[in-house]
Amino acid sequence: MSHPDRSNLPIRERLGLRPIINVSGTMTALGASIIVPEAIQAMAEMAPQWVEMDDLQRKASATIARLTGAEAGFVTASCASGIAMAIAGAMTGTRLLAIERLPDDTTGLKNEVIIQLGHIVNYGAAVDQSIRLAGAKVIPAGTVSVAQSYHVDEAITPATAAVLYVVAHHTVQYGMLSLEEVCEIAHAKGVPVIVDAASEYDLRGFLARGADIVIYSGHKFLSGPTSGLVAGRKDLVRAAYLQNRGIGRGMKVGKETVAGVMAALDVWERRDHAGIRARETAALHLWLKALEGLPGIEAHIIPDPTDNPLDRIEVNVLPESGFSAAGLAATLAAGSPPIIVRNHEVERGHFFLDPCNLHPGEAEIVAKALRDVLTSKDRPEGAMQPARKPVSGALRWPD
């Protein structure tokens, strides 16, 4: 019996994967972002070539420096890797034997990292694990709702390697110390400040405001390949880069990724940000219109919580709609095509629609699906399901 030739099918179909539409944002679990064509081209061009990796990373350093205002930079596997490597670098400096001894032997090294308690977020993994991966001890400062200067100031000891400052919609958005305040306290005692800005548009602001190192994801707003960018003070970046001889080995990136990130950064510099914003805004208005007048649905535009130039729709789902927010999200995810909404706050009765990862025509498909599901007379099983975060699926993988 001959197998049907599947080689001409689009890759998702060929592999038997659901053709999802992503209105949830730059989610690792969904493939992070749509890689820009220039980065894809650079990756394909670099893939078959030999190259001296330290030289390639030197070129990447110059590109990262140009875009961020940093003295130096490098590319690693992810922002989470970048955090671990930057912290390890703050601990070891350029001591090569110390680098080989991490993470379990920190004899003679500074091995404490201070982080405001309201910054200990989970983005699929917990940020404090990136600290512990380097062999450092997590020193939480303040409480979940309040951190004051003395919480950081008095936590600094001769063993303090760094303060980690997290910028994300996941952090507690009130009561925390600002980056400026943290830098002032830490720098007065000679302690570097490392910023996790994985998902931020602003490539210059955090260093300009005093951070010693800032780390971005290459695969979020930059729309590059999966990667992390570490940028900042040259001595600290060098020490972090040297971790490739130690804990960074398992976080390494290939030549194609470095080339792809460099291309994505080039594109970012000349990207038509206003044009993209206008397209995103058009999608938001389309969705608002689709949701208008539907019983039990209240939708409005809300700005990004960390001031990225990006708006989303917040969809409040009231019982009169016949759905819970979780039930509506699950129904859309089970549809054809499956539509994945931004559902991390679904237990609060709402989800978000994020317009920043759409292919042409998808905004219309989402609008129609919203309207179809909500105006249908039937309510599917599970329409009123409570919000749950089951791990049972993960525990069954690969089945």
Ligand X SMILES: *Cc1c(COP(=O)(O)O)cnc(C)c1O
Tell me which stretch binds ligand X (CB under 6 A): 59-67, 193-201, 230-238, 370-378.
193-201
Q: Which of 66, 103, 123, 296 binds ligand X (CB under 6 A)?
A: 123
- Residue 331, φ and ψ in degrees, nearest 5: -65, -45
Q: Are strands 350-353 and 311-317 parallel, antiparallel or unpaired?
A: antiparallel
Window of 179-187, 192-200, 310-318, 356-364 that interacts with ligand X by CB under 6 A: 192-200
Output the CA–CA distances (angstroms, integers) from residue 19 to 6, 40, 59, 106, in the order listed: 16, 20, 37, 47
Q: Do you know the residue count of the chain?
A: 399
CB 224 within 8 A of CB 259: no
> CB-based contacts of 282: which residues, under 8 Å, 6+ apart?
363
If the CB atoms of residues 22 and 28 are measured against ligand X, the closer one turns out to be 28
Shortest Cβ 7–ligand X spacing (Å): 32
Q: How far is the CB of 237 from ligand X (least distance, A)?
A: 17
Determine if 168 is a binding residue for ligand X (CB under 6 A). yes
CA distances from 173 to 119, 143, 169, 292 (A): 9, 13, 7, 30
Cβ atoms of residues 333 and 340 within 8 Å:
yes
Q: Can you say whether residue 279 is alpha, beta or left, with left for phi > 0 and alpha for psi between -120 and 50 degrees? A: alpha
Site string for ligand X, 46-85 (x = CB under 6 A): --------------------------------xxx-----
**Interface with ligand X, residue 228, by CB under 6 A:** yes
78 versus 92: smaller Cβ distance to ligand X: 78
- Closest contact distance (angstroms) between CB of 127 and ligand X is 6
Smallest separation, CB 130 to ligand X (Å): 8
Closer to ligand X at the Cβ: 25 or 327? 25
Does 144 bind ligand X (CB under 6 A)? Our answer is: no
Residue 111 binds to ligand X (criterion: CB under 6 A): no
Q: Which tokens is 314 given?
A: 């917040």
> How many chain residues touch ligand X (CB under 6 A)?
13
166 binds ligand X (CB under 6 A): yes
C-alpha distances in Å from residue 251, one per residue of 81, 243, 338: 6, 10, 32
Residue 331 contacts ligand X per CB under 6 A: no
| 196 vs 287 by CB, closer to ligand X | 196
- 373 Cβ contact partners less than 8 Å away, ≥ 6 residues apart: 328, 331, 332, 335
Place of tokens 């820009």: 36
What x-and-dash track marks residues 23-42 binding ligand X by CB under 6 A? -----x--------------
Q: Which of 217, 257, 324, 385 binds ligand X (CB under 6 A)?
A: 217
Q: Which is nearer to ligand X, 35 or 80 (CB)?
A: 80
Rule CB under 6 A: choose which of 112, 128, 196, 202 binds ligand X: 196
Shortest distance, position 226 Cβ to ligand X, whole Å = 7
CB atoms within 10 A of CB 256: 20
Residue 339, judged by CB atoms within 10 A of its CB (0-12, 13-18, 19+), counts as: buried
- Binder to ligand X among 161, 193, 198, 326 (CB under 6 A)? 198
Asked if 113 contacts 161 with a C-beta cutoff of 8 angstroms, the reply is yes
Q: Is the dihedral of CA 44, 49, 55, 57 positive or negative?
A: positive
Q: Does 308 engage in binding with ligand X (CB under 6 A)?
A: no
Report, in Å, the least distance between residue 123 CB and ligand X. Answer: 4
Q: Please report, as ranges, the residues that interact with ligand X according to CB under 6 A.
A: 28, 78-80, 123, 127, 166, 168, 196, 198-199, 217, 228
